[in-house]
């Protein structure tokens, strides 16, 4: 507290005089406290700051003078810092305080070290404070002091580009002011400090190197300070020094023309023209790399060798080509040849100089995408060659993605289009790998040969493997797509389906082409057909792997493609229908035998039940088959037939399980296996002793005949007419399974309640609630509508019956109304979505069926495989044998193509119905408004409302309604318009029976022209002219009616 009061008094008083007779006690009243109390003048406050530091920071000259005269310590650093008071004085830029510290404090060191080993001179140079530097140098500051990074004040001054600072640092120190050091010095020198002798700056001082081995001369050249550079050279700075990277002062001077010119005037510096750095680059390399054309000209004029190579064997021209320095290249080549002969051997040799990897300037320019440089090199006879690894300039140009460069190269040297490197990759391979669709299209258009590299991959394979979607799409859209897509050996289409379904769709679009056949019909007229190419969908080894890739990876966009649909249709007609028909016939034989055997056995047991030789237990167990066989030899034969079919089915399933693995374990296959096992157990004759329960054959028979008919339904799924509804039933069943958990919880809640009430309270008449299972099935039947309240419940009025009847009421509301209607609503709500998905599901079934029969097709029916197909009228000669077996209607029923026709007709019919309903509603709305207008106009004209809008009575009061318009009649005109609309739409629908939806939709728009005509005429203004105000109001109201139209 005493120190701060003293500081405040000194601040208000100003600086104390420096004479020896100065009495601070008289000048400052508070100074007596320093003498009265034994106070430490160097004491610090809570922040570690002394009184000297506060005086320096606040520029308190008088306080600082007083403290220094009382021997205050100025070298004591501030807490949490290594800086002394002199450092803070230099940072503040106060020359007067610095002078006071250096003159009044004999212990003040001008070279005191602070943070980072910085001296006050470092700080002054860093602040670019010339006056401060001058004062410090005059007080013997060390200009060669180095900080923690080996930077001297001279080196730091070069980065500030201040020649004045450099002048003060390098010039001899001037004699400083005479300062009072103490009583001893005052007596020996008459009160004045002895001046020190001036010294000359030594060469070692100005050549001091920092941590990167850079001298002040290099820093001056690096920062482009030509004046400081001249000063350093004049003081004897060594130009031969190099930094840690081996770069000389000329390397650092590149980019600064004035500095480079100054150095090249020095003989010693001129000898460094061919001095190489750590990478073997000369200053000419650096100038060419940076694009400093003026520096290149200066270096060449000074005698630099343009043929000098670095460690990679590259000349300055290579560096200029790498970085696209066209002006530098022109400068380098301008003086290489004799005048008038731009193509002499020296210039050509320089243009075609290759580095250690065989890369010439043309390769480098192509690699880094400089089309103008490429053009200039080609004009100067640059040769198009391959590097050590076989890479051509076109490879590099394609990889850079510059289309202009590719065009320039192909214009000059077209043969490099098909050059391959050491891996067998052509430029087309590179474009596919880099995903460059424009260049892929360019190369294919220019006639690039489709080859495979050493890994047996063509451009399409590389695009798929590298995920180059755009490049693959460009290949699929190009006219040469057939050259890229392999057919038999290693087909690519399945791989495209898995990895890039969008690209697969693009290629599928190419498999159908419309062709014109000249004079093809009987009359010699030309007609068009659709030619399909299915050869790409086969594989000699993989078979129908294309369909397998679609079904396994669920690529439905490919399955719904018209080409795939046509492929399935043709495949079904040629092969699938024959296999399906044969399978269906065989299965029907098995089904009829099994069903006949079960029915005959049940009938026989029923007839023999009253025979005394057969007990009721034997008849119920159906165990004594020998007795039945004795009674009927037909049943015995049927049992053997069923046994043979079941055994064959099991063998087939085991083979398919081994062949297909886990893919075989589908619901339909599991059901078929269970059915075969049940039929096998049921049909085992009595001679084969198998330990089993007496009723096992009965259960096996029931399971076998049930599953046999269910599997028959699943077989019929392959027929579109039946498959649609079967798929819908399955989907609705799955929807019910999703909500069955909640449904079961509610049902169990009522089951337990009713079972308890009926058992304890005896509130039931019948026996439907005697046990819990019977209660469950009773409530389940009640939920379906079989309530039978009179037989199941007592309706008397008492406490127990009231609770039961209340619970029954809740059951009826919750289970019979809410949940049942919820299930119905879910089923009905999903029908539309199921119908839309039925076509896709049927296609999936057809594809899976073809895959299951693939092995048999490849072995026995390979000659029926369709590689090329022309869509035309079906020839009846090709299916004569089918015609003899089944009628034409049945064949059409089995035809998978009927799916597409029905789908189209259904969509057209749906569009027609929706459009018709919309137009009818709008027509009736329009006519209703017009009739209201007619009524208002009739009242306004004082005409009867039924007379209509005729021109005779309104000839002077109305305008815009012509006689004969459809709106001057009553509502009967609406029916006539609707009938006309329906006739037109039905006519269009009949015409569209063989067309596609795309061609039909525009016609619907044209068919509503009646509505447009009607609405156009309704906009006509119907106005009534009256003289009074009431007539004007009526006119506005009439106009508002017509505006609604």
pLDDT tens, 299-339? 999 989 998 999 999 999 999 999 999 999 999 988 654 44
Coil, strand or helix: which one is 400? helix
Kindly state the percentage of the chain with pLDDT values over 70.
64
Q: How far apart are CA 41 and CA 100, in angstroms?
A: 18
**pLDDT surpasses 70 at 418:** yes
Comparing 978 with 1043, the larger pLDDT belongs to 978
Q: pLDDT digits over 606-648, tens only?
A: 776 555 455 545 554 444 444 444 446 788 888 888 989 999 9
Say yes or no to pLDDT of 713 above 60: yes
pLDDT-derived band at 912 (thresholds 50, 70, 90) equals: low
What pLDDT score does 28 carry?
44
The mean pLDDT value for 97-108 works out to 75
Please state, in angstroms and rounded to a whole number, the distance separating the CA atoms of residues 992 and 1007.
13
Q: Whole-angstrom Cα distance, residue 319 to residue 283?
A: 12
Cα(440)–Cα(1032) distance, integer angstroms: 75
Environment class of 749 (CB within 10 Å of its CB; exposed 0-12, middle 13-18, buried 19+)? middle
The helix/strand/coil state of 643 is helix
Q: Tell me what pLDDT residue 393 has.
A: 94
> Which percentage of the chain shows pLDDT scores above 90?
19
User: What's the pLDDT score for residue 777?
Assistant: 82
- Give the residue, 850 or 113, on which the prediction is more confident: 113
- For 429-439, what is each residue's pLDDT tens digit? 999 999 999 99
Q: What's the confidence (pLDDT) of residue 807?
A: 84
Structure tokens belonging to residue 197 = 């002798």
pLDDT band at residue 426 using 50, 70 and 90 as cut-offs: very high
pLDDT at 660: 76
- Is the alpha carbon torsion for 255, 259, 261, 264 positive or negative? negative
Per-residue pLDDT of 916-939, as tens digits, reads: 677 777 777 777 777 777 666 666
Q: What 3-state DSSP class applies to 1019?
A: coil
Dist. CA 675–CA 705, nearest whole Å:
8
Kindly state the average pLDDT of the residues 676-702: 73
List own/partner pairs for 665-668 with CB under 8 A and 24 or more apart: 668/711, 668/714
Residue 314 CA to residue 308 CA, distance in Å, equals 8
Per-residue confidence band for 425, with pLDDT thresholds at 50, 70 and 90: very high
Task: Output the pLDDT for position 997.
Answer: 41
How many angstroms separate the CA atoms of 41 and 71, rounded?
Answer: 8
- Residue 130: pLDDT over 90: no
| Structure-block tokens of residue 874 | 């079906």
Q: By C-alpha distance, which of 964, 940, 966, 965 is closest to 953?
A: 940
Whole-angstrom distance, CA of residue 353 vs CA of residue 112: 58
Tokens encoding 960? 């815009």
Task: Say which range, 64-68, 292-296, 441-445, has the weakest mean pLDDT.
Answer: 64-68
- Higher local confidence (pLDDT), 31 or 644: 644
* CA triple 53-59-62, angle to 5 deg: 90
Q: What is the pLDDT of residues 799-809, one digit of tens each?
A: 566 777 788 88
Whether residue 79 is predicted with pLDDT greater than 50 in this model: the reply is: yes
Q: What is the pLDDT of residue 972?
A: 47
Report yes or no: 402 and 430 within 8 Å, Cβ to Cβ: no
496 against 205, higher pLDDT: 496
In this prediction, residues 732-750 reach a mean pLDDT of: 79
Q: What is the mean pLDDT of residues 182-194?
A: 32
Burial class (CB in 10 A: 0-12, 13-18, 19+), 743: middle
Q: How many CB atoms lie within 10 A of CB 12?
A: 10
- Report the pLDDT value the prediction gives residue 873, as an integer from 0 to 100: 47
**Residue 608 confidence (pLDDT):** 64
- pLDDT-based confidence at residue 1043 (cuts at 50, 70, 90): very low
Region of 661 on the Ramachandran plot (φ > 0 left; ψ -120 to 50 alpha; else beta): left
Q: Which residues contact 1 (CB under 8 A, 6 or more apart)?
A: none
User: Reduced to 3 states, what is the DSSP secondary structure of residue 528?
Assistant: strand
Region of 291 (left: φ > 0; alpha: ψ -120 to 50; beta: rest) is left
pLDDT at 587 > cutoff 60: yes
Assess whether pLDDT exceeds 90 at residue 8. Answer: no
Q: Which residues contact 689 (CB under 8 A, 6 or more apart)?
A: none
pLDDT digits (tens, 9 = 90+) for 254-286: 999 999 998 988 888 888 889 989 889 999 999
Burial 491-525 (b: 16+ CB within 10 A, else e): bbbbbbbebbbebbbbbbebbbeeeeeeeeeeeee
- Pick from 148, 149, 151: nearest CA to 160: 151
Least confident of 85-94, 208-217, 341-350: 341-350
User: Mean pLDDT, to the nearest integer, of 181-207?
Assistant: 40
pLDDT of residue 832: 66
Query: What is the pLDDT confidence band of residue 862, given thresholds at 50, 70 and 90?
Result: low
Which of 365-369, 509-513, 634-638, 768-772 tops mean pLDDT?
365-369
pLDDT above 80 for 553 = yes
State the pLDDT at residue 766.
57
Give the pLDDT confidence of 821-854 residue by residue, as tens digits.
877 776 666 666 667 676 777 777 777 777 776 6
Which pLDDT does position 378 carry in this prediction? 92
- Name the token pair of 911: 């569009």
Strand, coil or helix: 311: coil
Backbone φ and ψ for 288, nearest 5 degrees, come out as: -70, -40
371-379 helix and 403-412 helix, angle to the nearest 10 degrees: 20
Task: Say which range, 227-231, 297-301, 508-512, 719-723, has the weakest mean pLDDT.
Answer: 719-723
| More confident position, 348 or 982 | 348
Residue 870, helix vs strand vs coil: strand
- DSSP annotation of 50 reads B
516, β-bridge pairs: 528
Return the bridge partners of 539, or none: 543
Task: Order the strands of the 868-871 sheet from edge to edge.
Answer: 512-517, 527-533, 868-871
Residues near 648 by beta carbon (within 8 Å), at least 6 away in sequence: none
* Whether pLDDT at 123 is above 60: yes
Best-predicted range by mean pLDDT among 4-13, 334-343, 880-889, 1006-1015?
334-343
> Phi and psi for 543 in degrees, rounded to 5?
70, -125
Q: State how far the Cα of 117 lies from the Cα of 79, in Å rounded to an integer.
A: 17
Closest CA to 492 of 481, 966, 47: 481
Looking at per-residue confidence, does 947 or 444 come out higher? Answer: 444
Query: Kind of pairing, strands 868-871 and 527-533?
Result: antiparallel
Question: Mean pLDDT of all residues in the chain?
Answer: 72
Q: pLDDT at position 524, please?
A: 61
């Amino acid at each position: 507290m005493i120190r701060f009061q003293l500081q405040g008094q000194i601040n208000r008083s100003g600086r104390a005089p420096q004479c020896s007779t100065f009495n601070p006690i008289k000048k400052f009243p508070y100074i007596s406290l320093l003498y009265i109390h034994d106070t430490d003048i160097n004491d610090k406050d809570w922040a570690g700051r002394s009184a000297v530091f506060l005086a320096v920071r606040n520029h308190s000259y008088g306080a600082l003078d007083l403290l220094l005269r009382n021997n205050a310590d100025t070298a004591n650093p501030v807490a949490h810092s290594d800086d002394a008071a002199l450092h803070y004085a230099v940072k503040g830029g106060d020359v007067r305080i610095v002078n006071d510290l250096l003159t009044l404090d004999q212990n003040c060191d001008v070279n005191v070290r602070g943070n980072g080993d910085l001296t006050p001179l470092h700080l002054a140079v860093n602040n670019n404070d010339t006056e401060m530097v001058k004062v410090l140098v005059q007080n013997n500051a060390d200009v060669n002091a180095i900080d923690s990074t080996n930077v001297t004040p001279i080196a730091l001054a070069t980065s500030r580009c201040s020649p004045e600072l450099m002048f003060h640092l390098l010039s001899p120190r001037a004699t400083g002011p005479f300062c009072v050091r103490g009583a001893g010095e005052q007596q020996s020198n008459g009160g004045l400090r002895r001046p020190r002798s001036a010294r000359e700056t030594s060469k070692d001082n100005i050549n001091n190197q920092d941590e990167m081995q850079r001298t002040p001369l290099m820093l001056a050249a690096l920062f482009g300070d030509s004046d400081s550079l001249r000063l350093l050279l004049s003081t004897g700075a060594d130009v031969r020094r190099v930094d840690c990277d081996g770069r000389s002062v000329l390397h650092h001077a590149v980019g600064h023309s004035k500095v480079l010119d100054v150095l090249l005037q020095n003989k010693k510096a001129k000898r460094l023209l061919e001095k190489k750095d750590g990478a073997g680059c000369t200053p000419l390399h650096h100038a060419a790399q940076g694009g400093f054309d003026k520096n290149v000209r200066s270096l060449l004029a000074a005698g630099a060798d343009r043929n000098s190579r670095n460690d990679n064997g590259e000349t300055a021209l290579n560096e200029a080509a790498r970085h696209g320095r066209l002006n530098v290249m022109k400068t380098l080549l301008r003086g290489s040849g004799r005048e008038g002969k731009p193509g002499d051997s020296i210039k050509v040799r320089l243009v075609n100089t290759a580095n250690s990897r065989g890369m010439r300037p043309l390769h480098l320019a192509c690699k880094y995408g400089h089309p103008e440089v490429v053009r200039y090199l080609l004009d100067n006879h640059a040769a198009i060659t391959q590097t050590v690894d076989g890479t051509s300039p076109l490879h590099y140009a394609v990889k850079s993605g510059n289309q202009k460069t590719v065009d320039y190269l192909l214009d000059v040297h077209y043969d490099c289009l098909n050059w391959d490197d050491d891996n067998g990759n052509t430029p087309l391979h590179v474009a596919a790998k880099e995903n460059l669709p424009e260049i892929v299209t360019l190369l294919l258009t220019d006639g690039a040969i489709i080859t495979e590299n050493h890994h047996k991959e063509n451009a399409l394979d590389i695009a798929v493997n590298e995920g180059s979607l755009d490049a693959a799409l460009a290949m699929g859209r190009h006219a040469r797509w057939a050259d890229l897509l392999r057919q038999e050996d290693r087909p690519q289409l399945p791989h495209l389906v898995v990895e890039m379904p969008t690209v697969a769709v693009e290629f599928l679009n190419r498999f159908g082409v419309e062709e014109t056949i000249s004079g093809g019909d009987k009359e010699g007229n030309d007609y068009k057909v659709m030619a399909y190419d299915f050869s790409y969908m086969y594989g000699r080894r993989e078979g129908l792997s294309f369909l397998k890739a679609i079904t396994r990876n669920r690529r439905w966009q490919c399955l719904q493609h018209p080409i795939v649909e046509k492929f399935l249709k043709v495949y079904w007609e040629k092969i699938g229908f024959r296999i399906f028909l044969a399978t269906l016939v065989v299965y029907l034989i098995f089904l009829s035998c099994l069903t006949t055997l079960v029915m005959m056995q049940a009938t026989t047991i029923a007839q023999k039940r009253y025979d005394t030789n057969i007990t009721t237990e034997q008849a119920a167990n159906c165990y004594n088959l020998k007795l039945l066989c004795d009674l009927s030899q037909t049943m015995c034969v049927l049992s053997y037939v069923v046994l043979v079919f079941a055994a064959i089915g099991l063998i087939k399933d085991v083979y398919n399980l081994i062949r297909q693995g886990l893919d075989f374990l589908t619901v339909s296959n599991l059901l078929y296996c269970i059915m075969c096992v049940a039929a096998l157990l049921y049909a085992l004759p009595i001679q084969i002793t198998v330990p089993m329960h007496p009723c096992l054959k009965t259960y096996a028979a029931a399971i076998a005949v049930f599953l046999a008919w269910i599997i028959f339904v699943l077989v019929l799924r392959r027929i579109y007419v039946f498959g649609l509804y079967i798929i819908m039933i399955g989907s609705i069943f799955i929807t019910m399974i999703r909500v069955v958990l909640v449904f079961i919880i509610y049902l169990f809640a009522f089951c337990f309640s009713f079972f308890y009430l009926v058992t304890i309270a005896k509130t039931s008449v019948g026996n439907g609630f005697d046990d819990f299972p019977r209660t469950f099935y009773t409530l389940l039947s009640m939920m379906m509508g079989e309530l039978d309240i009179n037989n199941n419940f007592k309706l008397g009025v008492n406490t127990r019956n009231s609770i039961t009847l209340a619970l029954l009421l809740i059951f009826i509301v919750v289970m019979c109304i809410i949940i049942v209607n919820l299930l119905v609503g879910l089923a009905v709500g999903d029908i539309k979505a199921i119908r839309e998905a039925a076509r896709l599901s049927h296609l999936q079934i057809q594809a899976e069926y073809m895959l299951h029969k693939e092995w048999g097709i490849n072995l026995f029916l390979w000659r029926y495989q369709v590689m090329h197909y022309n869509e035309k009228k079906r020839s009846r000669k090709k299916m004569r044998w089918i015609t003899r077996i089944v009628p034409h209607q049945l064949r059409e029923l089995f035809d998978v193509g009927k799916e597409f026709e029905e789908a189209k007709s259904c969509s057209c019919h749906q569009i027609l119905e929706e459009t018709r309903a919309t137009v009818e509603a709008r027509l009736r709305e329009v006519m209703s408004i017009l009739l209201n207008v007619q009524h208002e106009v009739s009242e306004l004209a004082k005409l009867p409302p039924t007379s209509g809008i005729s021109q005779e009575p309104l000839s002077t009061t109305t305008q815009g309604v012509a006689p004969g318009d459809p709106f001057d009649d009553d509502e009967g005109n609406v029916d006539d318009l609707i009938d006309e609309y329906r006739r037109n739409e039905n006519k269009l629908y009949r015409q569209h029976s063989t067309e596609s939806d795309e061609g039909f939709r525009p016609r619907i728009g044209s068919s509503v022209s009646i509505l447009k005509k009607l609405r156009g005429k309704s906009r006509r203004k119907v106005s009534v002219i009256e003289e009074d105000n009431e007539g004007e109001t009526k006119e506005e109201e009439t106009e508002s009616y017509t505006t609604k139209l």
